[in-house]
Structure 1
Amino acid sequence: MSVDQRAGEPTDAEQDPAGPQSDVPPATDGASTELAPLDVVVVTGLSGAGKNSAGRVLEDLGFFVVDNLPPALLQPMVELGARGDLRRFAAVVDVRSRAFSSDLQEAIRLLAEAGHRPRVVYVHARNEVLIRRYESVRREHPLQGSGRLIDGIDAERELLTGIAGEADLWIDTSDLNVHQLRATLESAFVEDGAPPQVVATVLSFGFKYGLPLDADLVVDARFLPNPHWIPELRPMNGRDTEVREYVLGQEDAPAFLDRYTEVLRLLLPGYRREGKRYLTLAVGCTGGKHRSVAIAEGSSPPDPGAARNGSAELYSASTSGRAVTNSAPTTAPPTEPS
């Protein structure tokens, strides 16, 4: 459903036809004063049900997220974002009083009238689950006061009756883990119906400098012949054509790349399903100059859509941000084999 854009506030000249005239031509579409409508998600619900976890998922999905935003500030924040380059805005809102609840409902109504696309996510859980969660962290419920924990939960549930009835999505987190919560929100708010991308980074390193701290998968390329022992290749690195052709031309290199690609085709759909969005593949050799660089340059994580057990619709994660680094010194050839 298309929504007309909301026009910006009239200028002084527009308000007063007799006001000062300007020789500046009217703004074109590229410099329009109109405010682009935003996708706005308001996450509210019971304390302890997982509102903040939902906010973190929305942030991963490309939303600009504000935690603990008072309802009175919701519309001003959205309007401010609309004047910038924001397209998706989310706010985690706690309702601590009946006035807060009515203020939130009014703010959502005003956003819709302004041409934005507000949606409300109501996060809740069973009483016994909420009690168990509060007891595990030993925190006081915000509405508990000097009474019992269950009294605070019941009071909050009653306060939220109005906004809960207007929610676009109810999420009962009683039996959900964080991965299942992520999957639920992805199915509702991912753009264009496409699942989030798995951003894969392929980097090279030298074992003598230690393992990369952020490596998820480590590959040892030291099973290949070392170009270090060939005098004309020694001063070069794995980005040079001669070294790359030497390394990838070894009998075992193509088979290794093919089989490792098959392993990634198995792993990437599972990583995406479990909510892992960033993957670092580290390829190492002795000094990180020849073999690891050539293998890293020659490898490319496959599209999980090509996996035997999945379809492009379910596993359409792609790789981006591909970077190859060389941890070996670049000012002079290493004195040890690489």
Structure 2
Amino acid sequence: MTPTDNNTQENRQNALELVIVTGISGGGRSTVARALENVGYYVIDNLPEALVGQAAALAAEGGPEVQRSAMVLDVRSLAFMTDLVGVIDELRSNGFRPTLVFVDADDDVIIRRYEKVRRAHPLQGDGALLDGITAERRLLEPAKESADMLFDTSLLNENQLRSRVEEAFLAPSTPGLQFTVMSFGFKYGIPRDADYLADVRFLPNPYWVPELREFTGQNPEVSKYVLSRPGAEDFVDSYSNLLLKTVPGFEREGKRYITVAIGCTGGKHRSVAITEELASRLNESGYPTTVQNRDAGRE
């Protein structure tokens, strides 16, 4: 192979937007796959782990319709019981830039989902449903620890998960780090898929201002109220600077997606206003940032 051929192959591999999806059975992998299809990915479901490298090579040589490819791996294939992290590392050593997505949920949520559809877990065997879930968690723990993006679906319905995935992958990815800034309400649970978590309940709550109560933090008057409280601007300045200072290190480690969660009591006013402002600062600094207001519509 000539140097020119090598360069051409490398360019094709770099151009390929490759997503590997795995996670706990019942966590929502199928929904993630459909969402990726909705934003233009060619999705291969239930792919044996041993064929990932070959499929990636074929996609790199293919036409525009497969330049955004996603592969869904799960325990239905016995070939999965090896070393997914090793497969990802091999892809990277061969010039590919895969994004590993892991889908998870609490055990009790997984159990309810299985009971609803009346199916056995693929690793359950003659044991209980929880035995299968526990065995799968043990197998997938290295992949979870190495994931670029983690979607915890414990508190998400199918439409919410689909929206989050579509927002994350709607536009072709850029080489640098990308942020997702998410507002949430502590009373609805902490988002466990966040890389950073901040509490803005130190700010006065617009809920107690009658003319602001019904609106969210996206409303200009609510935003103005929140950001004008003592400590609000200092917090946004300091937190955005902290995040930006971590970017070079994360990029050196190969991390491409960072999720920042901002919480208040109900996830409607303070956290939304701070989330919108923080995302604006990150975008202005040159880092593509999407906003997700998880709980803003619950009240």
Task: Give the TM bin, normalised by the shorter chain.
Answer: 0.5 to 0.7
Residues in 1 aligned to 2:98 and 2:145: alpha-carbon distance in whole angstroms: 15
Residue equivalent to 2:144: 164
Residue-by-residue CA offset, 1:1-48 (whole Å, 9 max, x unaligned): xxxxxxxxx2xxx6xxxxxxxxxxx88x9xx56551211111101101
The structure richer in helix per residue is 2
Aligned residues: 172
Task: Tell me the TM-score normalized by structure 1.
Answer: 0.46
Does residue 45 in structure 1 map to residue 19 in structure 2? no
RMSD: 2.9
Structure 2 matches for 1:13-32, cutoff 5 A? none
**Correspondence for 1:149:** 129
Inter-CA distance 181–110: structure 2 relative to 1 (3 Å threshold): same
Q: Structure 1, residues 65-110: CA drift from partner, whole Å, max 9, x if none?
A: 0000011101100101111112111011003699735432222111
Matched, 1:61 2:25: no
1:103-149 Cα deviation digits (max 9, x unpaired): 32222111112222101111011111111111111111000000100
SS in 2 for 1:117: coil
Q: Which residue of 1 aligns with 2:55?
A: 77
CA contact (8 A) 2:43 2:72 kept: yes
**Which has the higher relative contact order, 1 or 2, with Cα contacts under 8 A spaced 6 or more apart?**
2
Q: 1:36 aligns with which of 4, 12, 15?
A: 12
- For 1:75 and 1:136, the matched residues in 2 are separated by 36
1:217-245 CA deviation, whole Å, 9 max, x = no partner?
xxxxxxxxxxxxxxxxxxxxxxxxxxxxx
> Which residue in 2 is equivalent to 1:104?
84
Judge conservation of contact 1:144–1:151 (CA < 8 Å) in 2. yes
Residue pair 1:122, 1:164 contacting (<8 A) in 2 also:
yes
Moved over 3 A (4+): 32-35, 95-99
SS in 2 for 1:49: coil
Contact 1:122-1:169 at 8 Å conserved across structures: yes
User: Distance between the aligned counterparts of 2:107 and 2:151, measured in 1?
Assistant: 15
**d(CA) in 1 for partners of 2:172 and 2:140?**
31
Instruction: Give 2:156's match in structure 1, choosing from 136, 156, 176.
Output: 176
Q: Which amino acid aligns with 1:36?
A: R
Preserved contact between residue 72 and residue 104 of structure 1 (Cα < 8 Å) = no
CA contact (8 A) 2:47 2:72 kept: yes
| 1:128 counterpart (105, 108, 117) | 108
Q: Is the 8 A contact 2:36 2:43 kept in 1?
A: yes
Whether the 8 Å contact between 1:96 and 1:156 is mirrored in structure 2 is no
Question: Quick one: which amino acid aligns to residue 107 of structure 1?
Answer: V
In structure 2, stretches of 5+ residues that fail to align are 174-288, 291-299
Return the alpha-carbon distance in structure 2 between the equivalents of residues 157 and 143 of structure 1.
11
Shift of 1:154: 0.8
Q: 1:162 to 1:43 in 2, by over 3 A?
A: same
Secondary structure of residue in 2 paired with 1:40: strand
Q: Distance in 2 between matches of 1:166 and 1:133?
A: 26
- Residues 98 and 159 in structure 1, CA contact (< 8 A), matched pair in contact too: no
User: TM-score, normalised to structure 2's length?
Assistant: 0.52
For residues 1-338 of structure 1, the aligned pairs below 5 Å read 10=1, 36-37=12-13, 38-85=16-63, 86-95=66-75, 100-192=80-172
Write the distance in 1 (CA, Å) between the matches of 2:133 and 2:157: 21
Distance 1:83-1:99 versus aligned 2 partners, 3 A rule: closer
Per mean C-alpha deviation after superposition, the further-off stretch among 71-80 and 89-98 is 89-98
Residues 66/97 of structure 1: CA separation in 2 closer, same or farther (3 Å cut):
closer
What secondary structure does 1:123 align onto? strand
Counting aligned pairs with the same residue, the percent is 47
Distance of 1:97 and 1:73 partners within structure 2: 11
Query: What is the SS of the residue equivalent to 1:191?
Result: coil
Judged with a 3 Å threshold, the aligned counterparts in structure 2 of structure 1 residues 34 and 155 are, in CA distance, closer, same or farther, namely: closer
For structure 1, the residue ranges without an aligned partner over 5 or more in a row are: 1-9, 15-25, 194-312, 315-338
